[in-house]
């Protein structure tokens, strides 16, 4: 992947923060985990991406996060259970 990953610091105090921003942050984290799992290249996952995703999870329902994980697992041909184990290793 030659594209440079653009991250945004999620400001939970921003009055213009929208649901789509929260979904984007969580989706970015899941995609970075998938990329790192499938690639031998440089890791895309970093603390800022993970922190934004965990902050987003506070406001997203379990159904939304599960739908994101499932749809991305299917799109990138990744076993959904394996992905969940990578996302939440202590569960």
Residue with tokens 């799992």: 37
What is the CA angle 66-13-33, rounded to 5? 35
List Cβ<8 Å contacts ≥24 apart for 61-65.
Answer: 64/23, 64/26, 65/26
Helices of type H across 1-91: 19-38, 47-57, 62-75, 80-87
Identify the DSSP state of 58: T
The pLDDT assigned to 37 comes to 86
List pLDDT tens digits, range 25-42.
999 999 999 988 888 777
For the full predicted model, state whether its pTM sits above 0.85.
Answer: no
């Amino acid at each position: 992947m030659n594209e440079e990953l653009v991250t945004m610091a999620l400001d939970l105090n921003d009055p213009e923060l929208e649901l789509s921003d929260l979904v984007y942050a969580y989706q970015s984290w899941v995609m970075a985990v998938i990329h790192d799992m499938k690639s031998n290249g440089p890791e895309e996952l970093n603390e800022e991406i993970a922190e934004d995703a965990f902050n987003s999870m506070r406001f997203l329902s379990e159904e939304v996060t599960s739908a994101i994980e499932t749809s991305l697992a299917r799109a990138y041909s990744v076993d959904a259970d394996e992905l969940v184990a990578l996302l939440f290793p202590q569960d």
